[in-house]
Amino acid sequence: MNKLFQRALVPVDGSPYMSGVVAHAIAIAKKTNCSLTFLYVANVDPTSSYVANVKPATSLEVEKQRGSNMRIPEVCRQKAAAEDISASSRVEVGSPAQTIVELSVRERFDLIIIGSRGYSRLKTLFLGSVADEVMEQASCPVLLVK
């Protein structure tokens, strides 16, 4: 029987919602034998930084962001590896949604597992926009973890 999924891409961002997504991804990998790639995207898109912070990102800020967050996918990878799952971690630089979708196409991932952050609450409405954009643009199946 063909494997349902071969390779799943799991974007992680260090938010409090992330652990649920990671646990979900591990559970799916256990059952389907797919590999997991945990991805952190350091956001350097000047417009989105501008909107979020009301000032453009400087290269220094980007470096700071990368420094503290670039270990996130590696922490997730270790968690998965501890449960005997084939996992890798990587950090990319760019606009999050676009980078996630482009990577999934370029490297032929057949599933994206992404957390949604309570769309219904206004406070988190904009944070959830990455999941929203990925869902709209992806060319492979997307599992939106609530």
Partner 1 sequence: MVEKILVAVDGSETMERTVRFSCDLVKVLGGSLTLIHVVEVPVIIQPNLMFDSAPLTRAGEVILQTAQKQVEQNGLRADTILKHQGGNSGHKIVSVAGEKGFTLIVMHAKGQSKAASILLGSVSHTVAHNASCSVLILRP
Applying CB under 8 A, the residues found at the interface with partner 1 are 4, 24, 28, 31-32, 116, 119-120, 132, 135-146
* CB 138 to partner 1: min, Å: 7
Give CA–CA dist 16/46, Å, rounded.
25
Question: Of the two residues 10 and 57, which places its CB atom closer to partner 1 in the complex?
Answer: 10
Q: What's the min distance (Å) between Cβ of 130 and partner 1?
A: 13
Question: From the CB of residue 86, how many other CB atoms can be counted at a distance below 10 Å?
Answer: 14
Cβ proximity to partner 1, 59 vs 120, nearer residue = 120
3-state DSSP assignment of residue 86: coil
Beta bridge pairs of residue 35? 7
Three-state secondary-structure class, residue 9: strand
Least distance to partner 1 from the beta carbon of 124, Å? 12
CA distance from start to end of the chain: 30
Q: 29 vs 80, which CB is nearer to partner 1? A: 29
* Cα 10 to chain centroid, rounded: 5
> Shortest approach of partner 1 to residue 69 CB, angstroms?
25
Question: Which stretch of DSSP H or E encloses residue 97?
Answer: helix 96-106
Contact 73, 12 (CB under 8 A): yes
Query: With respect to partner 1, which residue has the nearer C-beta, 54 or 122?
Result: 122
Shortest approach of partner 1 to residue 65 CB, angstroms?
A: 28
Pick between residue 53 and residue 139 the one whose CB is nearest to partner 1.
139
